Amino acid sequence: MAAALVLPTAAGLTTVAAASAEPTTTTSATTTTAPTTTANETLAPVTKKPAAAATTTTKSAAPTTTTTVAPTTTTSATTTTTVAPPPPAAAPAVISARSAAAPNRSIPGVSKVQWITDRRVALWVDSPAMGAPFQVQVMLARDWNAKPDARFPALYMLDGLRARDDESGWTIETDAANFYADKNVNVILPVGGQSSFYSDWLEPDNGKLYQLETFLTKELPPVLQNSLRTTDTRGVIGLSMGGTSAMFLAARNPGFFKFAGSFSGYLSTTSLGMPQALQYAMQDAGGYNVSKMWGPPSNPLWAAHDPYIQAENLKGTSLYISSGSGMAGPYDQVSGIPGVSTNYAGMGLEILSRLTSQSFATKLNKLGIPAQVNYRPSGTHSWPYWQFEMHQAWPQVANALGVETAAPACGVGGAIAPVANANPWLGGCVTGEYPVAGGVAQDFRNGRIFNSGATGTQVLTGMIGGEYQAMGGPAGPLGLPVTSELGTPDGRGRFNHFQAGSIYWTPQSGAHAVRGAIRDEWARQGWETGPLGYPVGDEINTPTKDGAVQGFEIGAMYWSPTTGANSVQGLIMQKYGQMGYENSWLGFPKASEQGPIRDGGRFSVFQNGNIYWSPLSGAWSIKNGPIFDAWGSQGYEGGRLGYPVGDERPIPGGTQQDFQFGNITLIGGNAQIH
């Protein structure tokens, strides 16, 4: 029996699919598959729970040691290995029946926000020019947490011709996330734009109308400045296609970027053979037609996007240009021919970059425009060389953007030191200790450590750390963490408990906080091993009534002041959704799903009626009132009528409800059993 399990979209949740299986005694529906995400949680399973450390809110004292295993990456890992997980740690007591209000996660001009870690966030920024949101990921500056009133310059990092729609090549292929972890810039990573050259196109192609110059220079900056504490001091780096774009974007928008860097870019687009070369490359990378971008080569737009022709507009911009020679270098696999790499395409592309970069540099020299130019003696068109150039360019980037080249020295001490030393996967510290609400914190390359006398010393990392940031961190409704990250007994997920709630994560569902009475009822049912499974959404207010709802893998948990917290799941949940959820005549659930009853059935009680389900009859509602009372007089589903097989329906002069072995009519206020 297959069914679609619809989570409460009336309250803004999601839809997942239910798989076919035999019903169990714990749910009215078959098992469901949770929505997948592209990000994986950094693992930090605790094998010893630290003792609470005596401390003040400004400096930590020594605790007992916490040991965790090394984490996987936060975005690209596919498998994880953990030590045998301990049972769930004791959860904190609920402060009130209703969860405290969650922080407003919305950002003006942004249709979706996803925190990947506490210092990396994905934004789907609205683009009126393109008619659709465009994803940008931001790696936040080193002092983002430690100095909440500070603002930071921006470094745009542009991808290559084969840019992916899920993640920037810079974070897939290089150590950019680790490298910039101790740098005081907000790193801006546009995600997508395959073959776009980050420009405004004349016509749509492949269902996309790229208007990326408008997006990057006009639509994105207000979002960064108003909501992500970013200044108008900017630099731009790009590789290959992105290198070309970095130079012409800086030239076409004088003063917008203080630094522009090209790594293996094509710095002349109109010279002999280049339009044809770009057409070939764009056709190969996504099947795009170059004429849809700038028209035929005779169109003035080609010259307007040629870094060589626009070079004079780069006066006053700090410039960095690099390319290899195309010969096999230290990061290449050598073929049978000396000096020739097995990366044959990369050889040709790098030679093309070298020739155009040399012409461009010569033009700059004639114009008296200074530039740092690095012609490498070897190297092909490939990521290891661009990572190398990213490192090499940093001192010039830092100087142009007005930030220090080297991070200030930091050390660890007090209660944080032994926890940091026991968890080397956190990487080195990037800040000193700084005060947070109720305690202190310290940032590391791969996570944070929190300490207070009331909660001990705890590690937060990965997407759980990101969800904590989205919830407002220590000053938000969760308070401070009371455990480090732990593995769930089923081996699927990870969690941290906090003073006023918990955050649970799986690779499929992502990280979500569970709080208040909803968390209490979920815990009573067995946490993630209970009938609902893991949370797949955040707690939100029901849109038209005083209440709250949170989606889980197998249903949802509802709360209202008069009914408390109760779950609805499986095919009963599907029926509830078809009727309009809490906005229907049923109202809120008054109890969590009950059963098993006759023939393996289940039922849920609502404010104004019930929904009954069994494998043979399906799920149907029955109102409180004369028909329900008459059915009850016969023993409900255990009596001679059996289960409902339809909802109450009108008949001439009244209404009727059908059951497995008969019906009940209601005419003139009198219920009759047939």
Q: What is the tens place of the pLDDT at every residue in 452-482?
A: 999 999 999 999 999 999 999 999 999 999 9
* Residue pair 163/193 in contact by the 8 Å Cβ criterion: yes
Unique residue bearing structure tokens 């510290």: 429
Would you tell me how many other CB atoms lie within 10 Å of the CB of residue 165? 10
Whether the pLDDT of residue 238 is over 90: the answer is yes
Q: What is the pLDDT of residue 104?
A: 83
For residue 89, the model assigns a pLDDT of 43
The mean pLDDT of the chain is 87
Query: 537 and 553 in contact (C-beta within 8 Å)?
Result: no
367 token code pair? 């114009």
Candidate from 45-59, 220-234, 351-365, 469-483 with smallest mean pLDDT:
45-59
65 HSE (CA, 13 A, CB side): 8
Asked if residues 4 and 17 have their Cβ atoms less than 8 Å apart, the reply is yes
* Range in 4-8, 436-440, 544-548, 634-638 with the lowest mean pLDDT: 4-8
Sheet holding 564-569, edge to edge: 540-541, 548-552, 555-560, 564-569
Model pLDDT, residue 342: 80
Catalytic residue (one of 305, 381, 497, 512): 381
Please give the helix or strand (H or E) that residue 667 lies within, else none. strand 662-667
* Tokens linked to 353: 């970059």
- H helical segments located in 489-592: 516-524, 570-579
Task: Please check the confidence at residue 36 and state whether its pLDDT lies above 90.
Answer: no
Distance, CA of 372 to chain centre: 37
pLDDT digits (tens, 9 = 90+) for 117-163: 999 999 999 999 999 999 999 999 999 999 999 999 999 999 999 99
Phi and psi at 136, nearest 5°, equal -135, 130
Here the tokens at position 234 are: 């900017």
Mapping DSSP onto H, E and C, the string for 346-379 reads: HHHHHHHHHHHHHHHHHHHHHHCCCCEEEECCCC
Summarize pLDDT for 311-369 with one digit per residue, the tens.
999 999 999 999 999 888 888 888 878 778 787 787 788 999 999 999 999 999 999 99
The pLDDT score that the predictor gives to residue 22 is 27
Q: Say how far apart CA 412 and CA 555 lie, in whole Å.
A: 44
Range 372-393 average pLDDT: 95
DSSP annotation of 219 reads: I
Of these residues, 99, 240, 323, 341, which one is catalytic?
240
Query: Would residue 60 show up in a list of annotated catalytic residues for this protein?
Result: no
Contact by Cβ (8 Å): 493, 460 = no
pLDDT at 97: 62
Query: Of 41, 219, 350, 582, which is the active-site residue?
Result: 350
Range 472-493 average pLDDT: 96
Residue 240 appears among annotated catalytic residues: yes
User: Contact, 644 vs 617, CB < 8 A?
Assistant: yes
For the stretch 615-638, pLDDT in tens is 999 999 999 999 999 999 999 999
Distances from the Cα of 648 to the Cαs of 11, 571, 608, 617, 623, in angstroms?
26, 18, 14, 15, 8
Question: What span, in angstroms and rounded, lies between the C-alpha atoms of 214 and 302?
Answer: 17
Whether 85 shows a pLDDT value over 60: the answer reads no
Please check whether residue 223 is in contact with residue 124, taking contact to mean a CB–CB distance below 8 angstroms.
Answer: no
Partner residues linked to 110 by β-bridges: 107, 125
Q: Kindly tell me if the per-residue pLDDT of 93 is higher than 90.
A: no
Amino acid at 264: S
Confidence check: pLDDT of 659 > 90: yes
**pLDDT tens digits for range 247-306:** 999 999 999 999 999 999 999 999 999 999 999 999 999 999 999 999 999 999 999 999
Q: What is the pLDDT of residues 540-572, one digit of tens each?
A: 999 999 999 999 999 999 999 999 999 999 999
Mark whether 404 is an active-site residue. Answer: no
**Confidence at residue 96, expressed as pLDDT on a 0 to 100 scale:** 44
Whole-number pLDDT of residue 330: 87
Report the Cα–Cα distance between both ends of the chain, in Å, rounded. Answer: 30
> What's the average model confidence in pLDDT over 5-14?
34
What's the mean pLDDT in 186-207?
Answer: 97
Q: How far apart are CA 332 and CA 443, in angstroms?
A: 36
pTM of this prediction exceeds 0.95: no
